[in-house]
Amino acid sequence: MPKEFYLTPASRRHLERHFGEGALAGSYFLQSTFETPDDLLLILQNSSPVSVNKQHSSTIVFTYTLTNGRMAGTLGIMKKSYLSKKDLVSEMREGFTIEVGLIEGLRLTPDFCVVVRETLKGFSIITAFPGDYARPFAQKGQPAKEYALNKQFWEEHVLVRKKG
């Protein structure tokens, strides 16, 4: 029997920030496709991922692509080299200072990722976001190789937000 995806109360609160357009930088799910995290859970229970990336320890990233012209949400990340310095600002996010790119508008995507921790109960959702696979923010406590890869990724990429 396949493992079930589930949300803890804390992960639900975190995930709700990715539903509907908000003030935070980064991607968000379109309400016309996913109104709530529960809508996402329904899709996950009845779909197969396009790819699976194992991160350190028990963390797994599943990538999905919606079909039939349906869009999951907006792309909230881009290469920093595509932006001018005047379009980069610093923001605090979950205790970290990050660079954010300001752009005219966020592009739509049919792709989305779901980051989980594998448990005996199933797949505990840590976060989910529209777009392709992106490495986690570099944090102390990550294995040295993972930390270096994550740090390099975020030196080259930024979360983006619509100007204004």
Give the pLDDT of residue 2: 66
pLDDT in tens, 132-145: 888 888 888 888 88
Give the pLDDT of residue 121: 92
Mean pLDDT score of the chain? 89
Give me the mean pLDDT over the 42-46 stretch: 91
- pTM score: 0.86
Per-residue pLDDT band at 103 (split at 50, 70, 90): very high
Calculate the CA dihedral of residues 18, 23, 25, 27 and round it to 10 degrees: 30
